[in-house]
Structure 1
Amino acid sequence: MNNRKSIVALTGGIGSGKSYVCQLLRQHGIVVYDCDEAAKRLMREDGQLRQQLTQLVGPDVYEGTKLQKSVLAQFLLASEANKQAVNDIVHPAVATDFLQSPLQWIESAILFDAHFDRRITPDKVICVTAPLEIRVERIMRRDGISHEKATAWINSQMPQEEMVRLSDVELVNDGKANLPQQIEKILEQLHHNHILII
Protein backbone atom coordinates (compact mmCIF):
# COMPACT_ATOMS: atom_id res chain seq x y z
CA MET A 1 0.00 0.00 0.00
CA ASN A 2 1.28 3.46 -0.92
CA ASN A 3 1.20 5.79 2.09
CA ARG A 4 2.75 8.72 0.21
CA LYS A 5 1.07 11.98 1.12
CA SER A 6 -0.65 14.08 -1.54
CA ILE A 7 1.36 17.19 -2.35
CA VAL A 8 0.13 20.55 -3.65
CA ALA A 9 2.87 22.96 -4.75
CA LEU A 10 2.42 26.72 -4.90
CA THR A 11 4.84 28.59 -7.14
CA GLY A 12 5.26 31.92 -8.90
CA GLY A 13 7.98 34.46 -9.50
CA ILE A 14 9.31 36.88 -6.89
CA GLY A 15 6.77 39.63 -6.22
CA SER A 16 3.80 37.64 -7.53
CA GLY A 17 2.19 37.54 -4.08
CA LYS A 18 2.70 33.94 -2.96
CA SER A 19 2.90 35.00 0.71
CA TYR A 20 -0.51 36.68 0.47
CA VAL A 21 -1.98 33.53 -1.07
CA CYS A 22 -0.52 31.53 1.84
CA GLN A 23 -2.28 33.92 4.26
CA LEU A 24 -5.58 33.31 2.48
CA LEU A 25 -5.02 29.55 2.57
CA ARG A 26 -4.45 29.76 6.35
CA GLN A 27 -8.02 31.10 6.62
CA HIS A 28 -9.07 27.69 5.26
CA GLY A 29 -6.94 25.90 7.87
CA ILE A 30 -4.14 25.12 5.42
CA VAL A 31 -0.55 25.51 6.59
CA VAL A 32 1.93 25.89 3.72
CA TYR A 33 5.56 24.76 4.00
CA ASP A 34 7.69 27.80 3.16
CA CYS A 35 10.81 26.73 1.24
CA ASP A 36 12.58 30.07 1.75
CA GLU A 37 12.06 29.99 5.52
CA ALA A 38 13.03 26.32 5.67
CA ALA A 39 16.21 27.00 3.69
CA LYS A 40 17.12 29.87 6.06
CA ARG A 41 16.44 27.65 9.08
CA LEU A 42 18.48 24.77 7.68
CA MET A 43 21.35 27.07 6.65
CA ARG A 44 21.33 28.40 10.22
CA GLU A 45 20.91 25.10 12.11
CA ASP A 46 22.48 22.43 9.90
CA GLY A 47 26.23 22.40 10.57
CA GLN A 48 27.04 20.40 7.45
CA LEU A 49 25.10 22.84 5.27
CA ARG A 50 26.90 25.82 6.85
CA GLN A 51 30.25 24.18 6.22
CA GLN A 52 29.42 23.45 2.56
CA LEU A 53 28.21 27.02 1.94
CA THR A 54 31.28 28.51 3.60
CA GLN A 55 33.53 26.39 1.38
CA LEU A 56 31.57 27.41 -1.72
CA VAL A 57 30.85 31.11 -1.11
CA GLY A 58 33.64 32.06 1.30
CA PRO A 59 34.03 32.80 5.03
CA ASP A 60 32.08 36.10 4.80
CA VAL A 61 28.81 34.25 4.12
CA TYR A 62 28.39 33.65 7.88
CA GLU A 63 28.93 35.87 10.87
CA GLY A 64 28.91 33.23 13.58
CA THR A 65 25.82 31.20 12.67
CA LYS A 66 24.05 34.20 11.08
CA LEU A 67 23.76 33.99 7.31
CA GLN A 68 24.85 37.18 5.56
CA LYS A 69 22.08 37.46 2.96
CA SER A 70 23.74 40.26 0.98
CA VAL A 71 26.92 38.18 0.54
CA LEU A 72 24.91 35.16 -0.60
CA ALA A 73 22.75 37.29 -2.93
CA GLN A 74 25.84 38.80 -4.57
CA PHE A 75 27.26 35.31 -5.11
CA LEU A 76 23.97 34.01 -6.56
CA LEU A 77 23.57 36.89 -9.02
CA ALA A 78 27.19 36.67 -10.21
CA SER A 79 26.61 33.63 -12.44
CA GLU A 80 24.27 30.79 -13.31
CA ALA A 81 26.96 28.32 -12.19
CA ASN A 82 27.03 29.92 -8.73
CA LYS A 83 23.26 29.66 -8.41
CA GLN A 84 23.33 26.00 -9.47
CA ALA A 85 26.11 25.19 -6.99
CA VAL A 86 24.13 26.69 -4.09
CA ASN A 87 20.95 24.92 -5.22
CA ASP A 88 22.79 21.59 -5.31
CA ILE A 89 23.68 22.04 -1.65
CA VAL A 90 20.48 23.52 -0.23
CA HIS A 91 17.64 21.91 -2.21
CA PRO A 92 18.16 18.27 -1.23
CA ALA A 93 18.11 19.29 2.46
CA VAL A 94 14.90 21.31 2.01
CA ALA A 95 13.16 18.53 0.04
CA THR A 96 14.00 15.94 2.70
CA ASP A 97 12.80 18.26 5.47
CA PHE A 98 9.45 18.84 3.69
CA LEU A 99 8.83 15.19 2.83
CA GLN A 100 9.44 14.23 6.46
CA SER A 101 6.99 16.91 7.67
CA PRO A 102 3.20 16.32 7.99
CA LEU A 103 2.42 19.23 5.64
CA GLN A 104 0.92 18.66 2.18
CA TRP A 105 1.22 22.19 0.77
CA ILE A 106 4.57 23.65 -0.20
CA GLU A 107 5.50 27.10 -1.54
CA SER A 108 8.57 27.47 -3.74
CA ALA A 109 9.51 30.28 -6.13
CA ILE A 110 12.06 28.06 -7.86
CA LEU A 111 9.92 24.92 -8.20
CA PHE A 112 10.66 24.52 -11.92
CA ASP A 113 13.81 26.46 -12.77
CA ALA A 114 15.78 24.52 -10.15
CA HIS A 115 13.91 21.26 -10.95
CA PHE A 116 12.79 21.17 -7.31
CA ASP A 117 9.50 19.65 -8.52
CA ARG A 118 11.40 16.45 -9.37
CA ARG A 119 12.54 16.15 -5.75
CA ILE A 120 9.02 16.38 -4.26
CA THR A 121 6.79 15.20 -7.20
CA PRO A 122 3.66 17.30 -6.49
CA ASP A 123 0.20 16.03 -7.45
CA LYS A 124 -0.95 19.54 -8.36
CA VAL A 125 0.95 22.77 -9.09
CA ILE A 126 -0.63 26.21 -8.66
CA CYS A 127 1.14 29.25 -10.14
CA VAL A 128 0.54 32.75 -8.71
CA THR A 129 0.95 35.48 -11.35
CA ALA A 130 0.99 39.27 -11.54
CA PRO A 131 1.97 41.86 -14.18
CA LEU A 132 5.68 42.73 -14.32
CA GLU A 133 5.41 46.34 -13.08
CA ILE A 134 3.26 45.30 -10.11
CA ARG A 135 5.85 42.67 -9.20
CA VAL A 136 8.70 45.21 -9.47
CA GLU A 137 6.81 47.70 -7.25
CA ARG A 138 6.08 45.03 -4.63
CA ILE A 139 9.75 43.96 -4.45
CA MET A 140 11.00 47.56 -4.26
CA ARG A 141 8.55 48.35 -1.44
CA ARG A 142 9.18 45.11 0.46
CA ASP A 143 12.98 45.01 0.22
CA GLY A 144 13.77 48.72 -0.13
CA ILE A 145 15.76 48.18 -3.33
CA SER A 146 16.04 49.97 -6.68
CA HIS A 147 13.90 49.32 -9.76
CA GLU A 148 17.01 47.96 -11.50
CA LYS A 149 17.81 45.49 -8.71
CA ALA A 150 14.19 44.31 -8.44
CA THR A 151 14.12 43.72 -12.20
CA ALA A 152 17.42 41.81 -11.98
CA TRP A 153 15.90 39.47 -9.37
CA ILE A 154 12.87 38.84 -11.60
CA ASN A 155 15.09 38.22 -14.63
CA SER A 156 17.21 35.74 -12.67
CA GLN A 157 14.17 33.44 -12.40
CA MET A 158 12.27 31.42 -14.98
CA PRO A 159 9.87 33.63 -17.03
CA GLN A 160 6.37 33.79 -15.56
CA GLU A 161 4.79 32.52 -18.81
CA GLU A 162 6.92 29.38 -18.65
CA MET A 163 5.93 28.76 -15.01
CA VAL A 164 2.26 29.00 -15.99
CA ARG A 165 2.77 26.56 -18.86
CA LEU A 166 4.32 23.99 -16.51
CA SER A 167 1.64 24.43 -13.82
CA ASP A 168 -1.84 22.93 -13.54
CA VAL A 169 -3.65 26.07 -12.36
CA GLU A 170 -3.00 29.83 -12.57
CA LEU A 171 -3.95 32.19 -9.72
CA VAL A 172 -4.09 35.80 -10.96
CA ASN A 173 -2.98 38.30 -8.29
CA ASP A 174 -3.10 41.62 -10.17
CA GLY A 175 -5.11 43.55 -7.59
CA LYS A 176 -8.25 43.28 -9.75
CA ALA A 177 -9.08 39.57 -9.91
CA ASN A 178 -11.00 38.10 -6.96
CA LEU A 179 -8.24 36.07 -5.31
CA PRO A 180 -10.28 34.53 -2.43
CA GLN A 181 -12.88 33.35 -4.96
CA GLN A 182 -10.17 31.81 -7.17
CA ILE A 183 -8.72 29.98 -4.14
CA GLU A 184 -12.12 28.60 -3.10
CA LYS A 185 -12.65 27.28 -6.62
CA ILE A 186 -9.24 25.57 -6.60
CA LEU A 187 -9.90 24.00 -3.18
CA GLU A 188 -13.22 22.63 -4.48
CA GLN A 189 -11.41 21.09 -7.46
CA LEU A 190 -8.78 19.51 -5.19
CA HIS A 191 -11.48 17.98 -2.99
CA HIS A 192 -13.28 16.75 -6.10
CA ASN A 193 -10.06 15.12 -7.34
CA HIS A 194 -9.57 13.44 -3.93
CA ILE A 195 -6.33 15.28 -3.20
CA LEU A 196 -6.56 15.39 0.56
CA ILE A 197 -5.93 18.74 2.20
CA ILE A 198 -4.68 19.33 5.74
Structure 2
Amino acid sequence: MSLVVGVTGGIGSGKSALTDYLEQQGITVVDADKVARLVVEPGTPALRAISERHGSGILLANGSLDRAALRRIVFSDPQERLWLEQLTHPLIGEEIKRQLTASKSPYTVLSSPLLLEGEQVAMTDQVVVVDVPVEVQVARTMQRDNNDEDQVRRIIAAQMPREERLARADFVVDNSGTLEQLQEHAAALHRRLLALA
Protein backbone atom coordinates (compact mmCIF):
# COMPACT_ATOMS: atom_id res chain seq x y z
CA MET A 1 0.00 0.00 0.00
CA SER A 2 1.25 3.50 -0.83
CA LEU A 3 1.84 6.32 1.68
CA VAL A 4 -1.50 7.14 3.35
CA VAL A 5 -2.07 10.78 4.23
CA GLY A 6 -4.89 11.64 6.60
CA VAL A 7 -6.60 14.97 5.96
CA THR A 8 -8.78 16.39 8.71
CA GLY A 9 -10.09 19.65 10.11
CA GLY A 10 -13.13 20.97 11.92
CA ILE A 11 -16.47 21.43 10.19
CA GLY A 12 -16.32 24.25 7.64
CA SER A 13 -12.50 24.26 7.51
CA GLY A 14 -12.31 23.41 3.80
CA LYS A 15 -11.13 19.78 3.79
CA SER A 16 -13.11 19.16 0.58
CA ALA A 17 -11.51 22.09 -1.25
CA LEU A 18 -8.06 20.68 -0.41
CA THR A 19 -8.90 17.09 -1.31
CA ASP A 20 -10.64 18.17 -4.55
CA TYR A 21 -7.36 19.84 -5.59
CA LEU A 22 -5.33 16.70 -4.74
CA GLU A 23 -7.82 14.53 -6.64
CA GLN A 24 -7.35 16.77 -9.70
CA GLN A 25 -3.62 15.94 -9.44
CA GLY A 26 -4.45 12.23 -9.82
CA ILE A 27 -4.36 11.33 -6.12
CA THR A 28 -6.89 8.80 -4.83
CA VAL A 29 -9.05 10.33 -2.09
CA VAL A 30 -10.93 8.01 0.24
CA ASP A 31 -13.60 10.19 1.87
CA ALA A 32 -14.83 8.90 5.23
CA ASP A 33 -18.00 11.05 4.95
CA LYS A 34 -18.87 9.37 1.61
CA VAL A 35 -18.11 5.95 3.11
CA ALA A 36 -20.34 6.84 6.08
CA ARG A 37 -23.19 7.55 3.64
CA LEU A 38 -22.47 4.33 1.75
CA VAL A 39 -22.88 2.11 4.85
CA VAL A 40 -26.37 3.55 5.57
CA GLU A 41 -27.78 3.43 2.03
CA PRO A 42 -31.26 1.91 1.56
CA GLY A 43 -31.17 -1.87 1.96
CA THR A 44 -28.13 -1.90 4.28
CA PRO A 45 -28.27 -3.58 7.71
CA ALA A 46 -27.13 -0.30 9.34
CA LEU A 47 -30.05 1.69 7.93
CA ARG A 48 -32.47 -1.03 9.04
CA ALA A 49 -31.06 -0.84 12.59
CA ILE A 50 -31.33 2.97 12.64
CA SER A 51 -34.95 2.95 11.47
CA GLU A 52 -35.82 0.20 13.99
CA ARG A 53 -34.38 2.36 16.78
CA HIS A 54 -35.81 5.74 15.71
CA GLY A 55 -38.90 4.78 13.70
CA SER A 56 -39.74 5.36 10.04
CA GLY A 57 -39.72 9.14 10.64
CA ILE A 58 -35.93 8.94 10.34
CA LEU A 59 -36.35 8.03 6.65
CA LEU A 60 -37.05 10.33 3.71
CA ALA A 61 -39.86 9.58 1.26
CA ASN A 62 -37.41 7.75 -1.06
CA GLY A 63 -36.37 5.39 1.76
CA SER A 64 -32.98 6.98 2.38
CA LEU A 65 -31.77 8.30 5.73
CA ASP A 66 -32.92 11.76 6.82
CA ARG A 67 -29.41 12.86 7.86
CA ALA A 68 -30.61 16.21 9.28
CA ALA A 69 -33.12 14.46 11.56
CA LEU A 70 -30.49 11.96 12.73
CA ARG A 71 -27.98 14.79 13.32
CA ARG A 72 -30.51 16.57 15.57
CA ILE A 73 -30.99 13.38 17.62
CA VAL A 74 -27.31 12.48 18.04
CA PHE A 75 -26.08 16.00 18.78
CA SER A 76 -28.70 16.48 21.50
CA ASP A 77 -28.25 13.05 23.16
CA PRO A 78 -24.71 11.69 23.79
CA GLN A 79 -26.08 8.15 24.34
CA GLU A 80 -27.66 8.14 20.88
CA ARG A 81 -24.43 9.41 19.34
CA LEU A 82 -22.50 6.61 21.07
CA TRP A 83 -25.02 3.99 19.87
CA LEU A 84 -24.76 5.25 16.28
CA GLU A 85 -20.94 5.27 16.38
CA GLN A 86 -20.84 1.70 17.73
CA LEU A 87 -23.09 0.61 14.85
CA THR A 88 -21.43 2.43 11.98
CA HIS A 89 -17.72 2.90 12.84
CA PRO A 90 -16.68 -0.76 12.32
CA LEU A 91 -18.52 -0.83 8.95
CA ILE A 92 -16.92 2.46 7.90
CA GLY A 93 -13.46 1.20 8.93
CA GLU A 94 -13.77 -1.97 6.83
CA GLU A 95 -14.84 -0.03 3.72
CA ILE A 96 -12.08 2.57 4.18
CA LYS A 97 -9.45 -0.20 4.40
CA ARG A 98 -10.83 -1.79 1.23
CA GLN A 99 -10.63 1.51 -0.70
CA LEU A 100 -7.13 2.38 0.61
CA THR A 101 -5.82 -1.03 -0.44
CA ALA A 102 -7.28 -0.61 -3.95
CA SER A 103 -5.55 2.77 -4.51
CA LYS A 104 -2.91 3.00 -7.26
CA SER A 105 -1.81 6.66 -6.86
CA PRO A 106 1.69 7.67 -5.57
CA TYR A 107 0.11 8.42 -2.19
CA THR A 108 -3.47 8.07 -0.99
CA VAL A 109 -5.54 10.53 1.01
CA LEU A 110 -7.93 9.49 3.76
CA SER A 111 -10.18 12.51 4.32
CA SER A 112 -12.05 12.33 7.62
CA PRO A 113 -13.51 14.90 10.03
CA LEU A 114 -13.00 12.37 12.87
CA LEU A 115 -9.55 11.15 11.81
CA LEU A 116 -7.91 11.94 15.16
CA GLU A 117 -10.88 11.08 17.39
CA GLY A 118 -11.01 7.37 16.69
CA GLU A 119 -8.97 4.57 15.17
CA GLN A 120 -8.75 5.91 11.60
CA VAL A 121 -5.49 7.75 12.34
CA ALA A 122 -3.83 4.32 12.74
CA MET A 123 -4.40 3.78 8.99
CA THR A 124 -2.32 6.87 8.10
CA ASP A 125 1.40 7.65 7.82
CA GLN A 126 1.08 11.47 7.88
CA VAL A 127 -1.61 13.84 9.18
CA VAL A 128 -2.63 17.07 7.45
CA VAL A 129 -4.88 19.48 9.35
CA VAL A 130 -6.83 22.08 7.36
CA ASP A 131 -7.19 24.96 9.79
CA VAL A 132 -9.34 28.08 10.08
CA PRO A 133 -10.38 30.20 13.10
CA VAL A 134 -13.60 29.07 14.84
CA GLU A 135 -15.54 32.16 13.70
CA VAL A 136 -14.71 31.29 10.07
CA GLN A 137 -15.90 27.71 10.68
CA VAL A 138 -19.21 29.00 12.06
CA ALA A 139 -19.81 31.47 9.21
CA ARG A 140 -18.90 29.00 6.44
CA THR A 141 -20.94 26.14 7.91
CA MET A 142 -24.03 28.30 8.48
CA GLN A 143 -23.81 29.50 4.87
CA ARG A 144 -23.13 26.04 3.40
CA ASP A 145 -25.51 23.85 5.44
CA ASN A 146 -28.24 26.34 6.29
CA ASN A 147 -27.82 25.43 9.99
CA ASP A 148 -28.38 27.94 12.77
CA GLU A 149 -25.40 29.19 14.77
CA ASP A 150 -26.26 27.18 17.92
CA GLN A 151 -26.37 23.92 15.94
CA VAL A 152 -23.00 24.70 14.28
CA ARG A 153 -21.40 25.56 17.64
CA ARG A 154 -22.73 22.29 19.14
CA ILE A 155 -21.11 20.35 16.27
CA ILE A 156 -17.81 22.23 16.77
CA ALA A 157 -17.97 21.58 20.53
CA ALA A 158 -18.44 17.85 19.86
CA GLN A 159 -15.31 17.76 17.69
CA MET A 160 -11.72 17.66 18.92
CA PRO A 161 -10.53 21.10 20.09
CA ARG A 162 -8.64 23.07 17.42
CA GLU A 163 -5.42 23.30 19.53
CA GLU A 164 -5.33 19.51 20.02
CA ARG A 165 -5.86 18.88 16.29
CA LEU A 166 -3.02 21.28 15.43
CA ALA A 167 -0.70 19.64 17.97
CA ARG A 168 -1.17 16.25 16.25
CA ALA A 169 -0.57 17.51 12.68
CA ASP A 170 2.47 16.67 10.56
CA PHE A 171 1.36 19.42 8.15
CA VAL A 172 -1.01 22.37 8.70
CA VAL A 173 -2.78 24.03 5.76
CA ASP A 174 -4.14 27.48 6.60
CA ASN A 175 -7.44 27.98 4.77
CA SER A 176 -8.54 31.31 6.22
CA GLY A 177 -7.80 33.10 2.92
CA THR A 178 -9.12 32.77 -0.64
CA LEU A 179 -9.57 29.62 -2.72
CA GLU A 180 -6.56 30.72 -4.82
CA GLN A 181 -4.41 30.91 -1.66
CA LEU A 182 -5.62 27.46 -0.61
CA GLN A 183 -4.64 26.06 -4.02
CA GLU A 184 -1.13 27.52 -3.63
CA HIS A 185 -0.84 25.81 -0.22
CA ALA A 186 -2.25 22.59 -1.69
CA ALA A 187 0.28 22.60 -4.55
CA ALA A 188 3.16 22.98 -2.08
CA LEU A 189 1.74 20.20 0.11
CA HIS A 190 1.33 17.92 -2.93
CA ARG A 191 5.00 18.40 -3.88
CA ARG A 192 6.12 17.56 -0.32
CA LEU A 193 3.92 14.47 -0.17
CA LEU A 194 5.14 13.23 -3.56
CA ALA A 195 8.71 13.58 -2.26
CA LEU A 196 7.80 11.58 0.88
CA ALA A 197 6.06 8.89 -1.18
Q: Which category describes the TM-score, using the shorter chain as reference length?
A: 0.7 to 0.9
Is contact 1:39-1:90 (8 Å) kept? yes
CA deviations 1:93-131 (Å, max 9, x no partner) are: 12211211223211100112234324xx20111010101
SS, match of residue 60 in structure 1: helix
Q: Tell me the equivalent position of 1:21.
A: 18
**CA–CA separation in structure 2 for the residues paired with 1:34 and 1:187:** 17
After superposition, the Cα gap between the structure-2 partners of 1:45 and 1:31, relative to the gap in structure 1 and judged at 3 Å, is farther
Is contact 1:11-1:126 (8 Å) kept? yes
Equivalent of residue 42 in structure 1, options 9, 20, 39: 39
**Letter in structure 2 aligned against 1:54:** S
Residue 158 of structure 1 and its aligned partner are, at CA, apart by: 1.0
Alpha carbon RMSD of aligned pairs, Å? 2.0
What is the TM-score when the length of structure 1 is the normalising length?
0.85
SS, match of residue 78 in structure 1: coil
SS, match of residue 110 in structure 1: coil
**How many matched pairs?**
189
Percent identical among aligned pairs is: 24
Alignment of 1:158-197 (within 5 A): 158-175=160-177, 178-193=181-196, 195=197
Say yes or no: does 1:112 pair with 2:116. yes
Q: Tell me the equivalent position of 1:137.
A: 139
| Uncovered stretches (5+) of structure 1, i.e. residues with no partner | none
After superposition, the Cα gap between the structure-2 partners of 1:86 and 1:9, relative to the gap in structure 1 and judged at 3 Å, is same
Residue 72 of structure 1 and its aligned partner are, at CA, apart by: 0.7
**Greater shift in the superposed pair: 181-190 or 82-91:** 181-190
**CA–CA separation in structure 2 for the residues paired with 1:165 and 1:55:** 40
Residue 46 of structure 1 and its aligned partner are, at CA, apart by: 5.3
